[in-house]
Chains A and B, each alone.
Chain A
Amino acid sequence: MNIPPPISWLWAMWKRFAEALGRVMSWIILSILWIVGFGIYAIVLKTMNTFKSQQKPISYWVDPPQDFPNSMKYQF
C-alpha cells in the first residue's frame, strides 16, 4: 500500500497495533475454546474412563488403521 511519507509512521503504528490486537484476540478465543470445548470433552472422557475396566493387555501391539482406496490423495 502506498502511503504518503508524512503519515507513513501512523500506518506503521496502526499495523503494529492491529497485529498485537490479533494476537490478543486469538489468545482469548483459543483460551475460551480450551476451557469450554476441550474442557467439557475432557471431563466427559475422563468420567467414562473411570468406569472402564483397566485390564492389562498381554501385548501392546495394535493393528494400523484400515487403508482405503486412493488414500494417498488425502491428508487423513
Chain B
Amino acid sequence: MNDKPIYILGISCYYHDSAAVLLKDGEILFASHEERYTRKKHDDAFPINAIQHALAFANITIDDVSAIGFYEKPFLKFFDRILMTFIKVWPKGLRQYHLAMQEWMMKKLWIPHHIQKKLNYKGPVYFAQHHESHAASAYHCSGFPNATIVTVDGVGEWATTTIGHGNGNDFKLVKELHYPHSLGLLYSALTYYLGFKVNSAEYKVMGLAPYGQPRYMKEMHTLIDIKEDGSFRLNMEYFTFEHGLTMTGHRFEELFGRPRRSSEGPLELFHKDIARSIQELTNELMLKICVHAKKICPSDYLCLAGGVALNCVANGKILKSGLFKEIFIQPAAGDAGGALGVALAIWHKQYNGQQAAERMNHVFLGSEYPHTEIKKLLREEGMPFDEMGETELTNEVAKLLEGDNVIGWYQGRSEFGPRSLGNRSIIADARNRENWKKVNLKIKFRESFRPFAPTVLEEKASQWFDLDRESPYMLLVADVHPDKREKIPAVTHVDGSARIQTIRRDQNPKYYDLIKAFEQKTGCPVIINTSFNVRGEPIVETPRDALNCFLHTQMDYLVMGNTLLSKKKILGILNVEKSHKDYLAKFELD
C-alpha cells in the first residue's frame, strides 16, 4: 500500500485576487493570497509567491504534488462566452475586443503551459467550472451531510448564479443564470455609479446603505426584471459593461437623474439612498433565490459562496428568514476561494475523497514568521521593545486596550479570505465612540461612514447581539440589542446593526484570551477588530509589513508575537505626520 500523502494544489489567477491553496489528503494545509506577498491589492498575477510559501510550509517540492487545479475553464470562458459576447454586441466593443484578445492570446489561454513552466511541474492539471469551484469551496468545507447550494457572483464562464444540491461526497449544480444577467455585476455597476472602485469597494456601498432610504426601488426594478422564482434579467439598455470599459452609461445617469459621482466627490443623501436601494434589492433577490433553491434542492442546510456571499447584510436576512437550520458561508467567498474549491473538487472527484464531518473551523492558513525573525527585525531597525510571557502580555494589552489606544495585533499565521480575524488585526476599545473616528481617519485614512466590526466572545454574543449562533468569519450582520448600543458605539452602525465576528478559544486561543482578559477588566466582551492595513494596502503579511504600517500611522502600540512596542518610545526618531503621506502614496486608493 502506498502511504505517500496526496498533495493537491489549487490556483486562481489572471482575473483578480490570485491565490493558492495546498491540500494534504483532503485537509487544508495552506491557503494564501498573492497580494499579501507582492503588496499589490487584488493582485491577479500568477500566485508564484503564495505557491512557494505553500510548498515551504509543507516542506515539500513541486515533485511531491500529485495534482494541480485551476479554478475555471479558460476555453469555455473565452471561446464560448467572451467571443460570443463580442459577436452579440458587434459593431460596438472594438476597444474591449483588442484588449481582451491580447490578454487571452498572450496569457489566459496558456494556463497549463504557465503552470508547467513557472513551477517546473510535470503532473496532471485539472479544471473545474468557476461556479463548481465556488460551490465546492462552500459545500466541502461545510461539514454538512447534505445541503442546498447557492453561488452568486459577477460572472464565471457563462454562469453568474447557480443552484445545486450536495449529498455525501458529491454535489451537482442543477440550475443557473447566464451572463450578462448578474447580481454581482449589477451591484458593481451601482458601486461604479457611486464613484467607488469595481471589484474592490462593493463593501463600501453596503456600509453606506444604512444612512439612506430605499427611495429608488422603482428605478432599481427598471434595471432588473425579477421573477417570483428568483431568476432575473438585467435590462441591458442601461449597462455598458458588455461592450465598453465602463459599467454604466448616459442612460443609467438619465434614469437616476444625476451624473456618476467622482471618486473623491461629496457623498450626499442621494448617494446614500441609491446605496440603500441596491442593498434592499440585493436582500430581496438573494432571499428569493434561496427560497427557490430550497424548493428545488431541499435541505435543512444552506451553503453559500461567490463574491455576493460576502454581502453580510443579505446573509443576515437569509439567516433571519429561518429558511434553513444552518448556513455555511465560505469565508473566502470571492475568487480566491476558487483555488480552494478546485483543489477540493479534485480531491473528491479524482481521488474519491470523503465529505468532512467537521466544518472549516478557522482561516489561519497562511504564512507564519518565527519569533526570532520578529526580534531580529526590531533590533535591526533599532526599535525599543518589551518582551513578555504570554499571560503577562495578554493582561498588559487588555489594560492598554481600555480607553483610546489603538493597537496593531500581529500573531501566528495570516488569514485566508478578505477579513482579518485576529492574527493581522487593528484592535481598540469598542466602548469609546472616539475610537471610531481615530481608527478611520488617523490610521486607516478612509471615509468615515464605514462602521467597524466587533469581535465578541462566542458565549457572550447573544447577550449583546440578536444572534443565536456563531459567526466566526464576520459574514453575518445582526442587530446590537437596544440596551447595549450606547455601550459599544464604535461598532454599532447607524441602523443599530453590527457585522459580527464571534470567537471561541479553540479557534484562536491568544486572541480569545485577550478579549476574555479585557472583559474581566471592563465587563465588556466586545472589541473593535479591523484589518491591519491602511486604505488601498493589502493586509500586512510579514513582521516588516506590520512594523511599516505601525510606524507610518498613528497607531499607539504594536504587539508582534510576544513583543510590545510603544509609539511614545519611538516618537523621538519618527515624524508620523510627515511619513504617513509617503506611505499612503505607495498604495492605489480603492
Contacts and interface: CB of A to CB of B under 8 A. Distances in A.
B2 to A, nearest CB: 22
A76 to B, nearest CB: 4
Interface string A40-60: 011001000000000000111
Contacts of A31: 94, 98
A45 B108 CA distance: 27
Instruction: Please tell me the size bucket of the interface on A.
Output: 20 to 34
A38, A58, A60, A63 — which one has the most chain B CB atoms within 10 A of its CB?
A60
Given A38-B90, A45-B87, A72-B127, A62 B177 contact: yes
A31 B102 CA distance: 12
A63 B174 contact: yes
A33 B305 CA distance: 38
B79 A76 contact: yes
A51 to B, nearest CB: 17
A34 interface: yes
Contacts of B231: 59-61
A6 interface: no
A45 B89 CA distance: 11
A43 to B, nearest CB: 8
Given A60-B233, A62-B177, A42 B87 contact: yes
Interface string B335-346: 000000000011
B128 interface: yes
A75 interface: yes
Interface stretch (B68-76, B394-402, B457-465, B573-581): B68-76
Contacts of A32: none
B149 to A, nearest CB: 12
Interface string B80-101: 1000001110110010011001
Interface string A16-42: 000000000011001100100011011
B168 to A, nearest CB: 17
B176 A39 contact: no
A22 B177 CA distance: 40
A74 interface: yes
Contact of A72 (B87, B176, B346): B346
B101 A62 contact: no
A61 B90 contact: no
A39 B87 CA distance: 7
Given A30-B101, A63-B175, A64-B175, A76 B73 contact: yes
Contacts of B162: 64
B229 interface: yes
B374 to A, nearest CB: 42
Contacts of A58: 227
Nearest to B72: A75
B81 to A, nearest CB: 11
A61 B87 contact: no
B423 to A, nearest CB: 33
B413 interface: no
Contact of A42 (B90, B98, B174): B90
B449 interface: no
Interface string B310-326: 00000000000000000
B181 interface: yes
Contacts of A76: 73, 75-76, 79-80
B322 to A, nearest CB: 24
Given A45-B87, A60-B181, A64-B174, A75 B98 contact: no
A76 B205 CA distance: 35
Contacts of A75: 73-76, 111-112, 127
B178 interface: yes
A3 B246 CA distance: 46
B159 interface: yes
B372 interface: no
The 6 lowest CB-CB distance pairs between A and B, nearest first, are A60-B231, A42-B90, A75-B75, A76-B75, A72-B126, A61-B175
10 contacts: A34-B94, A42-B88, A42-B91, A59-B231, A60-B231, A64-B173, A72-B126, A72-B350, A74-B73, A75-B75
Given A72-B349, A73-B124, 6 more contacts: A30-B98, A30-B101, A31-B94, A38-B90, A45-B87, A61-B163
